[in-house]
Amino acid sequence: MKTIRLTTAQAIIRFLQNQYVERDGKENPFFAGCWGIFGHGNVAGIGQALQQTPTFRYYQTRNEQAMVHASAAFAKMKNRLQTFACTTSIGPGATNMITAAAGATINRLPVLLLPGDIFARRNVAPVLQQLEAAYSQDISVNDCFKPISRYWDRINRPDQIITSLPEVMRVLTSQSDTGAVTLALPQDVQAEAYDYPPALFEKRSWFVSRPRADATLFQRAVDQIKASRKPLIIAGGGVIYSEATEALRLFAERTGIPVAETQAGKGVMPYDHSLALGAVGVTGTPGANIMMREADLIIGIGTRYSDFTTASKTAFQNPDVRFININVAEFDAFKHSALPLVADARVTLEDLSQALKGYDTGADYRGRAAKFNKEWDAEVSRIYGLEHSVPISQGEVIGVVNAASRAEDVVLCAAGSLPGDLHKLWRTRNPKGYHLEYGYSCMGYEIAGGLGAKMADPSREVYVMVGDGSYLMMSQEIVTAIQEKIKVIIILINNHGFASIGGLSNAVGSSGFGTHYKYRDEKTGQLSGDRIPVDFAMNARSLGARVIEASDLPSFTSALDAAKKESRTTVIAIETDREQRVGGYESWWDVAVAEVSEIESVRQARAAYEEALKKERYFL
């Protein structure tokens, strides 16, 4: 039998290059290339294979965590139909990916991780960066990836990839089981040659299906919707990944069922649609949270019901509330003891629209949703036009960016107080215009994620909004943007520390302890001295970015106009007032407060916490 003699690494890259994905008659390569940083654990293996395969593009990054963030952001923009591979050396290079890999899995985004590993043969052990264990020789730091990977394998022989790689693709292209996939590659095995069957490298297209719901359960769902008087749709990221936004809009218009949006689902409806209630849950709008509280039927579409969405299980207060969940993942479809429609969101909404002909919630219910929509838009306008003194408010910054952006442009963020404010305040006009990593809320995602989002669709302007805390954790990917001539606009908000947790600290009675960037006060021993003078503009300039400093609304507006005309990554640095916050609306989040304390403010917060706990519910 004819064979092809390749190293394990060469065979992996050749295989990946020939994997395609197909949905709705459209086909595209599944991998857009490979991110990587080389060390002794992969330079002679995957590195050499990439060197001789320039058609499978290699991208250099500055931090291993960042490459996975960029890949996840790219996959998110591509509706999970395309992604990257990520290769690292062994030891710290590999474990640097763990944080971002967890984020990819939690957010159900496909990313392939190819970390180098210790030698498969043991005569040279312990090798550099090897974790030794007295109870086993079959363990390395890459075992840490097991709980956060949707599929994990260690390749100890070159022939093992023949059966492993198809499983890798099965999981990565699954709409229900996707996430981070890890192939741990011992450095000696990467370089070993084997005679591979040519069929392994033939083009293969993985079909992404649109499964329909079970007929009996579907009819029961129709009956439940017809019997409801106060139904509400909670739309999650699955609506966008399924490309079901138009089907959802038509379904809402035909039935009169209002739509509330999770963080991942924001953008499924235009912000000014009369049935769009906007953000829901802890970071939600009054209308969404009030109608969720009163609803007798919740139709969850493509959502996993995080605690931010359910307000820590306090959101649904109607004693007779029932749930219908439409989700490709059986695990999520059964949550809250729902009637589970394990199915694709788009075809299910289209089928429901036909089955519910003649059903309507009525003019009064539609009118109430429209009233909430108008009232919230007025509140957004008030916050956008607050005319706060210098330093300006974060809400005003969001308003200026929103006004400067086009409908098809992207605002991107991940952690801190910005996600909550953006969820409430950003006026979405395009399903891909709002890009938040909030399943893991990972500080450091922002700039790397901005790269991935821009690479997925260069026609869109990408506005990365990042606080000083996240910026200091992972700003170095500005260098990658400059190297690859990728332009993003970074709005660097300086609020002198961790403003979000500062607010939470105040709420639990701890007065913002440990959340300010301040010198240590030698008298008290606490970090309560003068502010640390960090020159963010100079830092960003040193990394190669075009930098514009702004201090007030006029200068910030001018800075955005200038940034849009730039051809390279531009950073706009502006200070905001960390104490001028956007309020909470009809919601609560369970953050445990110390049960005993010497501090009176903590004792008061505990009393309020115990009262709020009474509203938490089980759904059995």
Examine residue 325 and state whether it is found in any structural domain, yes or no: yes
For every residue of 421-480, DSSP letters joined together read HHHHH----STTSEEE--SS--TTHHHHHHHHHHHH-TTS-EEEEEEHHHHHHS-THHHH
Residues whose CB falls within 8 Å of the CB of residue 610, separated by 6 or more in sequence, listed in order:
none
Give the model's pLDDT for residue 121: 95
- Tell me the three state secondary structure of residue 537: helix
Query: Which domain-ending residue is among 184, 207, 230?
Result: 207
Residues 319 and 188 in one domain: no
In a domain, 85, yes or no: yes
Claim to verify: residue 157 and residue 262 sit in the same structural domain: no
| pLDDT for the residue numbered 214 | 98
Mean confidence (pLDDT) of the chain: 97
The answer on pLDDT for 1 being more than 80 is no
**Distance of alpha carbon 128 from alpha carbon 423, whole angstroms:** 46
- Are residues 202 and 220 both part of a single domain? no
| Cis before 391? omega within 30 | yes
Kindly report, residue by residue over 580-616, the tens digit of the pLDDT.
999 899 999 999 999 999 999 999 999 999 999 999 9
pLDDT (0 to 100) of residue 500: 87
Report the pLDDT value the prediction gives residue 309, as an integer from 0 to 100. 97
Residue 554's CATH number = 3.40.50.970
CA distance 346 to 239: 7
Helix 363-384 and helix 286-294: axis angle, to 10°? 150
Task: Establish if 265 belongs to a structural domain.
Answer: yes
Same domain? For 239 and 114 the reply is no
CATH number of residue 303's parent domain: 3.40.50.1220
How far is Cα 292 from Cα 285, in angstroms, rounded to an integer? Answer: 11
Range of the domain at 241: 215-375
Tell me, yes or no, whether 175 and 251 share the same domain.
Answer: no
* Overall average pLDDT of the 260-274 stretch: 98
pLDDT band at 26 (very low <50, low <70, confident <90, very high): very high
pLDDT category at 511 given cuts 50, 70, 90 is confident
The answer on 203 and 236 residing in a single domain is no
Q: Given this model, what pLDDT does residue 283 score? A: 97
Token pair listed for 226: 């017809």
Residues 280 and 409 in one domain: no
590 occurs within a structural domain: no
Q: What pLDDT was estimated at residue 86? A: 98
Is 406 in the same domain as 483? yes
Q: Tokens standing for 555?
A: 């200068």
Q: How confident is the model at residue 289 (pLDDT cuts 50, 70, 90)?
A: very high
Among residues 329, 354, 375, the one where a domain terminates is 375
Number of domains in the chain: 3
C-alpha 385: how far from chain center: 29
Q: For the segment 244-265, what is each residue's pLDDT rounded down to a tens digit?
A: 999 999 999 999 999 999 999 9
Give the residue among 77, 65, 35, 75 at the shortest CA–CA distance from 444: 65
Beta bridge partners of 208: none
Is the same domain home to 154 and 24?
A: yes
Residues 134 and 37 in one domain: yes
- The distance of Cα 474 from the centroid of its chain, to the nearest Å, equals 16
Nearest of 431, 436, 227, 230 to residue 346 by alpha carbon: 431
Confidence of residue 154 (pLDDT cuts 50, 70, 90): very high
pLDDT surpasses 80 at 391: yes
Q: What is the mean pLDDT of residues 213-223?
A: 98
230 within domain boundaries? yes
Is residue 466 a contact partner of residue 415, using CB atoms and an 8 Å limit? Answer: no
The set of residues, in sequence order, having a beta carbon less than 8 Å from that of 199 and lying 6+ positions away, is none
pLDDT digits (tens, 9 = 90+) for 61-110: 999 999 999 999 999 999 999 999 999 999 999 999 999 999 999 999 99
Is residue 75 included in any domain, yes or no?
A: yes
Q: Are residues 298 and 334 in the same domain?
A: yes
| pLDDT computed for residue 46 by the predictor | 98
Residues 104, 76: Cα–Cα separation, whole Å:
10
pLDDT given at position 447: 98
Residue after which a domain boundary falls, among 166, 191, 207: 207
Give the pLDDT mean for 490-517.
91
Q: Tokens 């043991």 appear where? A: 122
pLDDT for the residue numbered 480: 98
511 domain-assigned: no
Residue 366 has pLDDT above 80, yes or no: yes
**192, 241: one domain:** no
Section 536-565 average pLDDT:
97
Q: What percent of the chain has pLDDT over 70?
A: 100
Stretch 264-287: mean pLDDT: 98
DSSP character at residue 337: G
Residue 281 in domain? yes
